[in-house]
Structure 1
Amino acid sequence: MNQTITATGDITDSDGQVRLRANWGDGDQNETELAGSRTAMLTHSYPAANTYTVTFWAVDEEGTTSEPRALQIAVVEQPGAEPDPDLVSVSGIPSSVQVGQQFTVTITARNDGGSSPEGAINASVRYSDGSDNVNVTGPTGSGFDQLLNRPAGYYPIYNSNCDPMTAQDRLLEAVDANWTNGEQHSMSFTVTPQQAGTLWVRVRTTMAADVPSCDYINDTSVPEGVSDTDQQGWAVRRFAVTVAASCCAGTCTCPEFASPIPNPTTTWQTHTDWIPSGGWDSSVVNLEAGRAYTFKTGCGNGATAEFDTVIEVYDWTSCALVACNDDGCESYRSSVTFTAPATRQYVVKVRGYDASEYGSFTLSYRRNP
């Protein structure tokens, strides 16, 4: 909107200097510099269409004020003005969480232009490897005509050309069928990750200038996040959340160093070593996104251990705990099966349940067929 109002007034002071002060009725006020009696001028820009009560005073150099003069100003929307969506803020997205730890995202948007016959706040959620293994409840918000939660696989949603398509990511939308100038709305939803990995949350606000002609205006102006494109072809801000597995026994700590072992194949391979009291063995392997792997110190296939073991698997890039198992096999031995969230190096750590558990072990592992 940003319509500018100019006010002039004759101000006098018989024995000194005087200024013109204005309260513009929208929380802002300003004033002129001190000077002699004169015709003074003030300007103000209104961000939204509304009726405002404006109050003026003359103020001398001692701070003495005149009787106030008040008037009403009706600021109207310019005919034919396009909507101007503004993504005001995105909050509640953590940098890291554990599997099962929920967080609530709030997205706030405002229309700084003409009325929109279809304004919306949009968000999509999925893992970086394409997985949809995440629970999302909501959205909630006031002032909306529709609050939509579409899972991956839902048809139809519409791309930026207004063509129907099948949802690849979970899509959340809050729609106002008459989003007028100056209106500000917030949409919230709660996310509960169900697996370790990198979870992506993409956000935007989009407003229609003319629905039948597919004339939409998009905004992604918040400084946080990184620029990206969503499943519908719109520019968005993308936020990444590192989701770590929960520690299964004692304290799980990403090792500072690790030695490479042969990468898993579909045939069982083994790695044998010995750990001292309070120590551990850490091995680096290269894994592919979307493939399932098993690492174990029991349950057959050559796996064994002289002690009560715990197996931890870490993303070697972020040191996020990806998987953990204690007592998954006979005699307190361990077995962990997980799907790699990204193609990169991972560290497999074998340790004793506590300092009294140590000795030799054979780790068996493979890429599951």
Structure 2
Amino acid sequence: MNLLDIDTLQLCSLVNTSAFGIVFLLLWRGRKADDYLLFWSASALLYGGVMIGFALWGERGMGAATALLMMLAFSNTVSVMGVRRFEGGPVLAPWMALPALVIGVAHLGPLWLMAQGWLPADSQIPRIADVLGLTAAMAINGTAMISGPLRGQRIAGAGLLAYIPIFLISLVGDLGVLSGDHSLGSLPLLADQALLGIINLGLLVLPIDQAQDALRAAALRDPLTGVWNRAGLEVQKRRLLAPGAAVVAIDVDHFKAVNDLHGHEAGDAVLRGIAQEAGRIAQAQDGALARIGGDEFILLLPASCEGQRLIVEALMNRCRAAGAAPGSWSVSIGFSQVTAAETGFEPAVVRADKALYHAKAEGRDRVAGLAA
């Protein structure tokens, strides 16, 4: 027998999904630039429309049932489209036609065979095909959703994929126990009451995940120059630690004089200029650049970087060229490398600092610590 009255469960699913559709729509009205919310609203409301359609027209013929089943698959595809919009990529992809197409073929194929007399009128094949079509469509949409990098995507994808065993269990029950008119029984509709919430709450989590990622990234960046700060540098050290990795300590010569004579805006421009030049090197060599103090920077170059000393000398020449403008400035640089016996960057940082002080003592505007 059915677990609960089908009509009651359909009404509960309709209320459930419509509530989320309205929530997404209201959120969009307050943030109209976030149009991915419209996709999620459309997905939820389309599923509600499918519930109404099955209640009103599901038994009225092959065409109505086929259209409703295809709309059911497409409602989940629209959720995936919204996620792709959220990520900033193309909304449409060729594979998105597959879920609705699979359900349409699975539903119409056995009915056509029955109309040709190749299947008996009481055959269970149409029921089996409907369930397998729904299962395949859910697998396609669920896999596309759960493969995303964000937590909310994985939650929503898990909710979609959880329908698959529900469908299959319901099919076994239909074929072995039930003899009613409802091909899927009440189990999928009962599962709706939990899984619809999981799927839509997973989608709601996505903007929260994005905001948290942005806050975490901001906490690791220097707001003036955009390069790593001390905390960000510690994270990058774990990635770059290896014998032969280079530590380049950079300090602006007479930086206080730049601020005093030309103003703090000029000083900020100097810092941004150094960050730009050294940052290009860090990016090109897969290294890391951090601002660790007022006018102090640390550049880390990986052990795999060839010609580290030449790169540092090139950086010095770029800084000299930039400092030739009015309000001229220069930098002093200390260089060191991680040895095979060291298990962290700290000793190399200390040596680079000592080399930097040596460069300043020798007259500034030079590199120290480059000797092999």
TM tier, smaller: under 0.3
Query: Which structure's residues are more often helix, by fraction?
Result: 2
TM-score for the superposition, normalised by structure 1: 0.27
TM-score for the superposition, normalised by structure 2: 0.27
